[in-house]
Amino acid sequence: MSSTLASRTVAVAVMGVGLVGSEFVRQLRSLPSPHPFRLISLSSSKAIVFNPDGIPSSTDWRALLRDAVSASATASSASSASASGATSRLTDLTHSLAKLVRNDNTVVFVDNTSSEDVANAYPVLLRSGVHVVTPNKKAFSGTQTLYDQIVKASLEGGTKFLHESTVGAGLPIISTLNDLVATGDKVTRIEGVFSGTLSYIFNEFSTGSADGPAFSTVVRTARDKGYTEPHPADDLNGADVARKLAILTRLLTKPPATAPPISLPEGYASVPTSSLIPPGLDLSSVPTGDTFLKALQAHDLHFDALRAQAAQQGGGGAVLRYVGVIDVNAENPGGPSVKASLERYPTTHPFAASLGGSDNIIMFYTERYGPRPLIIQVTAMGVLSDLLKLA
């Protein structure tokens, strides 16, 4: 390996090459030359391609991975390898990246998966001197124990973990929060529409009128357009919003922030979350997305009533929006709190008037901005933006 090359570039190892990962690789390879990054590794769930000197930009990386998968399958067949192969490959990659760090390379591990196993490896990577960039919510919204291990490992390894894309689908939410805290502002409340899926559903379902399309029809359309998971219950349960709230709560209440602590020992599972799945709909009886949508039709009248009640609210009516709220005002009757729930907003509110399609919108209430919140509703490049910070 060229020591000159190592001193001039940032070695990038990419884990996960699905939709998100493939787009990241495309963006990375599209950066104008010269740039400081060299792509040294690509990993799927079945194989790893690793070249410490860099994978040439002219190389068909998909073909490389296909060849690696074939070779891995042959080796596994010959050795009767178990399902632990993926874990073994991750361990080997971690050791290889740590060796590069010891050879004075700057190394970044980009995790584009949603794997808990990969998230559990962050402490080892960070402690070894490898920076982590990821849209994977699992590590930062999981147990407090894992989160504390990540923070401690980052300090011990002198490394950074950047995860802007875990909240707000690429909106600069985390960087904005960090900047507010770093510049001495006091954030008192964060309120937002954090789920693009649920944003689309309620933008279509609840417009301020008492009438409109059936809820199940809107959910089906959202799935057909690719906004929901294959099984829409995975979106309607509110867990994704709860994960984002857990991430922001931890950032908001850690030093140098002065907000009072909010205990989330189990991460997102500790966030009070209102599910949109009707209580009478037994998920065990609807194992597929199609059967779920068919069963959801029987509950359309319930959602119709919620929409009508919102439309009849005084002052010009209201709309329904599924939101996340973090309130760290210690003077509130219940003290600091965090929740994910379906709420009503006047038709003049930004959550009603400024949203369209699957947009996200987040409002920061702070001492500096006073009664007029700072509103974030612009797009960013997410993962690649975080990587550029390490250049």
Catalytically active residues, by annotation: 244
The DSSP secondary-structure symbol of 347 reads: T
Cβ atoms of 343 and 321 closer than 8 Å: yes
Distance CA 188, CA 254 (A): 14
* φ/ψ (deg, to 5) at 323: -130, 165
Task: Say if CB 100 and CB 107 are below 8 A apart.
Answer: yes
Task: Give me the residues paired with residue 187 across strands.
Answer: 366
Whose structure tokens read 């949603």?
Answer: 114
CA distances from 45 to 68, 72, 85, 97, 327 (A): 11, 11, 9, 18, 39
Q: Residue with structure tokens 């407090």? A: 144
C-alpha–C-alpha distance, residues 146 and 128, integer Å:
17
Omega cis (within 30) before 34? yes
The angle formed by the CA atoms of residues 342, 345 and 348, to the nearest 5 degrees, is 155
The CA distances from residue 56 to 50, 61, 376, in Å, are: 12, 9, 38
Residue type, 59: T
Q: Which residue in the block uniquely carries the two structure tokens 């300090």?
A: 155
| Main-chain phi, psi angles of 36, to 5 degrees | -85, 0
The Cα 371–Cα 361 span in angstroms is 17
Q: Each residue of 201-234: b (16+ CB within 10 Å) or e? A: bbbbbbbbeeebebbbbbbbebbeeebbeebbbe
Distance CA 329, CA 194 (A): 21
Judging by beta carbons within 10 Å of its beta carbon (0-12, 13-18, 19+), is residue 49 exposed, middle or buried?
A: buried
Residue 51: both structure tokens together: 């070249």
